């Protein structure tokens, strides 16, 4: 009887660990925007400036130029559009056709 | 450390820090403001912004060091009332108004703000854009009713300015939680083509070329032409276009373009401006969502301040400004959003990836509001 009980209980062993492993796998698979937003805040750190040496005498300091996060950049809410989109191309125009009432409707919503 | 509140570096995201500080009541200290610049410290437009903040609040304490590179701000109560402000012309009224929109519903008495300065420039969202997109977003959260209005009295183009807008907003006790997950299809496109101190024909030329692009999608397009004259036309010549696409579910997606300010760079042809602005609107539609990219942070703020209930809003890709805003919301209100990417189906022609933002509001209620 004891053995039988052990058998039924075996799947319960390490449930928590299994669950956490599955969770982590899932987290890594999906591109995690949340981590991008909250995970690593890039801070302007003065000590990590890229420094090049010129002739072993001068140090060229290029602060913040290459950094994604610019602490002293212009405070502006405008979202610069993606320049790779060419709105003269038919292909590009077709990609948004169904956003309009004139486009194709979902079956459930189509009155026709 | 504790007495200084939150500490930040640099002048970027200046407005959102001060706005969130005012709403949360947390003090903020901003260091190293252009400390390595040839001309260090706060600029005139930032000083002008602080003065505006001082006008709408009561009991704020602001300390700035001698070089202007360190700012300490202890927020007072939001008072509101009738406020007049001459906005510095380095930035347009949109710069100031964006912050004011976030604060206005939480005043003690309803706000009537008269702002003077540059109404339209290529850098910041113009007053026309905010009027046609930000106000509808706020209405979704239950702000509004009588006296919720933004009126362009005089138009003033950059760099001279001379424009005037009046913004009135009633006070609001609590924010309504929202579920904006389906934008619906676009039923019509509206717009304003404005021109001042140039030939009125400019506006017509803009309308013509913008229609040429947009008519491929929709027949219902009406672009209003607005030519202001005399005292209402400000000090500088210029023209521009604001386009707004309205969906069946009442979402607004917008795009805009202004002519280059006089004496700054190459002049633009009205035909090019119209066509390019129409393409910008297509880009915005490709991004999609229930709130357009320029109002993302406003919507996220109102979600955060909502009652203790779940709010959901579908957005297009998050702008860098919005991402930083989310980080600041975490700092000031300890709220983190659930962020889910929604990929479009294969045969769907509805633009790019969307992002579903979910959060539970902090249950913010307007403590400043007087009980009657």
Residue A36 Cα, gap to closest chain B Cα (Å): 9
- B10: which chain A residues are within 8 Å (Cβ-Cβ)? 44, 70-73
Q: H or E element: which one contains A93?
A: helix A90-94
- CB spacing of B349 vs A95 below 8 angstroms: yes
B1 vs B35, more confident:
B35
- Confidence (pLDDT) at A9: 67
What band does B146 get if pLDDT is binned at 50, 70 and 90? confident
Q: Are B51 and B64 in contact (CB under 8 A)?
A: no
Query: In CATH, what number does B291-360 get?
Result: 3.30.1370
Across the interface, of B36, B185, B340, the residue whose CB is closest to A103 is: B185
Q: How far apart are CA B41 and CA B64, in angstroms?
A: 9
Q: What is the mean pLDDT of residues A85-97?
A: 92
Tell me what percent of the residues of chain B surpass a pLDDT of 70. 99
pLDDT range class, residue B199, cuts 50, 70, 90 = very high
Residues 250-309 of B with CB under 8 A from A: 279-280, 282-286, 288, 293-294, 297
State chain A's mean pLDDT as an integer.
Answer: 72
Question: For all residues of chain B together, what is the average pLDDT?
Answer: 94
pLDDT digits (tens, 9 = 90+) for B6-33: 999 999 999 999 999 999 999 999 999 9
Region B127-132 average pLDDT? 96
Spatial contact of A94 and A86, defined as CB atoms under 8 Å apart: no
CA B40 to chain centre: 27
- B8 forms beta bridges with B30
- Would you state the structure tokens that stand for residue A12, as one six-digit string? 């319960």
Cα–Cα–Cα angle for B115, B116, B121, nearest 5°? 105
d(CA B297, CA B293): 8
Give the residue-averaged pLDDT of B235-248: 96
The pLDDT value recorded for residue A112 is 58
Q: Within 13 Å of residue B323, how many CA atoms lie on the same side as its CB?
A: 19
Tell me the HSE value of B54 on the side-chain side, using a 13 A CA sphere: 11
d(CA B293, CA B16): 16
Pairing of strands B28-31, B57-58: unpaired
pLDDT-based confidence at residue A49 (cuts at 50, 70, 90): very low
Q: Count how many Cα atoms sit within 13 Å of the Cα of residue B94 in the half-sphere of its side chain.
A: 28
**What pLDDT does residue A28 have?**
60
Q: What is the model's pLDDT at position B173?
A: 87
| pLDDT for the residue numbered B142 | 94
Three-state SS string over B212-261 comes to HHHCCCCCCEEEEEEEECHHHHCCCCEEEEEEEEEECCCCEEEEEEECCC
Helix, strand, coil percent values for chain A (each to nearest 5):
40, 10, 55
Angle at A40 between CA A38 and CA A43, to 5 degrees: 115
Per-residue pLDDT at A111: 65
Average pLDDT for residues B175-187, to the nearest whole number? 94
Q: Of A58-62, B136-140, B258-262, which gets the smallest average pLDDT?
A: A58-62
According to the model, what pLDDT value does residue B195 have? 96
Whether residue B271 is predicted with pLDDT greater than 80 in this model: the reply is yes
What CATH class is the domain B186-287? alpha beta
Residue A21 pLDDT: 81
DSSP 3-state of B285: helix
The pair of structure tokens assigned to B13 is 């995201």
- pLDDT category of residue B63 using cuts at 50, 70 and 90: very high
**Min Cα–Cα distance to chain A from B41, Å:** 10
Residue of A nearest to B35 (CA): A72
Judging contacts by C-beta atoms under 8 Å, the chain A residues touching residue B348 are: 98
Which residue from B242, B245, B241 is spatially nearest to B269, judged by alpha carbons?
B241
- Compute the average pLDDT of residues B198-225: 96
Average pLDDT, stretch B186-197? 96
Q: Domain residues of chain B, as ranges? A: 1-44+53-76, 186-287, 291-360
Torsion angle of C-alpha atoms A22, A28, A33, A35, degrees rounded to 10? 90
Q: Give CA–CA dist A95/A106, Å, rounded.
A: 16
Confidence band for B338, pLDDT divided at 50, 70 and 90: very high
8 Å CB contact of A78 and B124 = yes
Confidence at B336, pLDDT banded by 50, 70, 90: very high
Using the predicted structure, report yes or no on whether residue B227 has a pLDDT greater than 90: yes
> What pLDDT score was predicted for residue A63?
53
Q: Is B139 on the interface with A (CB under 8 A)?
A: no
Amino acid B293: pLDDT: 94
ipTM above 0.90, yes or no: no
Helices (H) and strands (E) in chain A, counts: 4, 2
Q: Please, what sign has the CA dihedral across residues B147, B152, B154, B157?
A: positive
Partner residues linked to B31 by β-bridges: B9
Interhelix angle B14-24/B44-56, rounded to 10 degrees, is 20
Mean pLDDT value across residues B202-219 = 96
A85's tokens: 């989109």
3-state class (DSSP) for residue B360 = strand
In Å, how far is A9's CA from the nearest CA of chain B? Answer: 36
Distances (CA, A) of A105 to A43, B214, B288: 46, 20, 17
Testing the interface with B: which of A79, A84, A103, A106 to mutate, by most B Cβ within 10 A? A79
Mean pLDDT score, B158-174: 94
Does B294 contact A82 at a Cβ distance shorter than 8 Å? no
Q: Which residues in chain B (117-136) have CB-CB distances under 8 A to chain A?
A: 123-125
Q: What is the CA radius of gyration of chain A?
A: 28
pLDDT digits (tens, 9 = 90+) for B76-106: 999 999 999 999 999 999 999 999 999 999 9
Decide: B321 and B303 in contact? Cβ < 8 Å.
no
User: Rounded to the nearest 5°, which phi and psi values hold at B304?
Assistant: -60, -40
pLDDT surpassing 50 at residue A48: no
Q: Are strands B80-86 and B109-117 parallel, antiparallel or unpaired?
A: parallel
On whether the CB atoms of residues B49 and B16 are closer than 8 A, the answer is no
Interface of A with B in 8-67 (CB under 8 A): 30-31, 33-34, 36-38, 41, 43-44, 63
């Amino acid at each position: 009887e004891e053995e039988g009980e052990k058998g039924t209980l075996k799947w319960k062993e390490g449930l928590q660990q299994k669950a956490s492993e599955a969770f982590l796998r899932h987290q890594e698979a999906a591109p995690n925007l949340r981590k991008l937003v909250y995970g690593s805040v890039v801070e302007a750190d003065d000590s990590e400036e890229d420094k090049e040496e010129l002739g072993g005498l001068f140090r060229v300091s290029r602060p913040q130029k290459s950094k994604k996060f610019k602490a002293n950049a212009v405070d502006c809410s405008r979202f610069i559009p993606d320049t790779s989109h060419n709105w003269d191309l038919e292909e590009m125009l077709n990609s948004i056709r169904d956003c309009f009432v004139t486009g194709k409707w979902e079956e459930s919503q189509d009155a026709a | 450390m504790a007495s200084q509140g939150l500490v930040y570096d640099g002048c970027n995201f200046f407005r959102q820090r001060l706005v969130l500080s005012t709403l949360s009541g947390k003090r903020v200290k901003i260091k190293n403001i252009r400390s390595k610049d040839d001309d260090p410290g706060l600029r005139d437009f930032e000083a002008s912004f602080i003065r505006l903040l001082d006008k709408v609040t009561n009991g704020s304490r602001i300390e700035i060091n001698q070089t202007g590179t360190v700012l300490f701000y202890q927020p007072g109560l939001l008072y509101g009332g009738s406020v007049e402000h001459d906005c510095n012309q380095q930035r347009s009224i949109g710069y100031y108004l964006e912050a004011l929109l976030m604060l206005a519903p939480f005043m003690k008495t309803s706000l009537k703000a008269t702002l003077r300065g540059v109404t339209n420039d290529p850098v910041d969202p113009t007053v026309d854009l905010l009027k046609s997109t930000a106000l509808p977003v706020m209405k979704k959260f239950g702000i509004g009713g009588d006296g919720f209005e933004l009126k362009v009295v005089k138009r003033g183009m950059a760099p001279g300015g001379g424009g005037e807008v009046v913004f009135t907003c009633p006070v609001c006790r609590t924010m309504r939680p929202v579920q904006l997950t389906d934008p619906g299809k676009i039923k019509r496109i509206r717009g304003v083509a404005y021109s001042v101190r140039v030939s009125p024909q400019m506006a017509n030329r803009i309308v013509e070329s913008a229609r040429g692009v947009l008519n491929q999608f929709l027949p219902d397009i009406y672009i209003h032409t607005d030519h202001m004259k005399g005292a209402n036309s400000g000090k500088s010549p210029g023209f521009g276009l604001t386009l707004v696409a309205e969906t069946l579910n009442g979402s607004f997606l917008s795009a805009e373009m202004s002519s280059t300010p006089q004496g700054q760079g190459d002049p633009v042809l009205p035909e090019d401006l119209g066509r390019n602005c129409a393409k910008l609107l297509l880009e915005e539609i490709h991004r999609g969502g229930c709130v357009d990219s320029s109002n993302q942070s406003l919507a996220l703020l109102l979600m955060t301040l909502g009652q203790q209930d779940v709010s959901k809003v579908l957005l297009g890709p998050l702008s860098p400004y919005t991402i930083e805003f989310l980080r600041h919301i975490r700092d000031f209100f300890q709220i983190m959003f659930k962020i889910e990417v929604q990929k479009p189906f294969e045969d769907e022609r509805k633009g790019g990836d969307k992002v579903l933002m979910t959060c539970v509001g902090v249950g913010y209620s307007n403590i400043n509001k007087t009980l009657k």
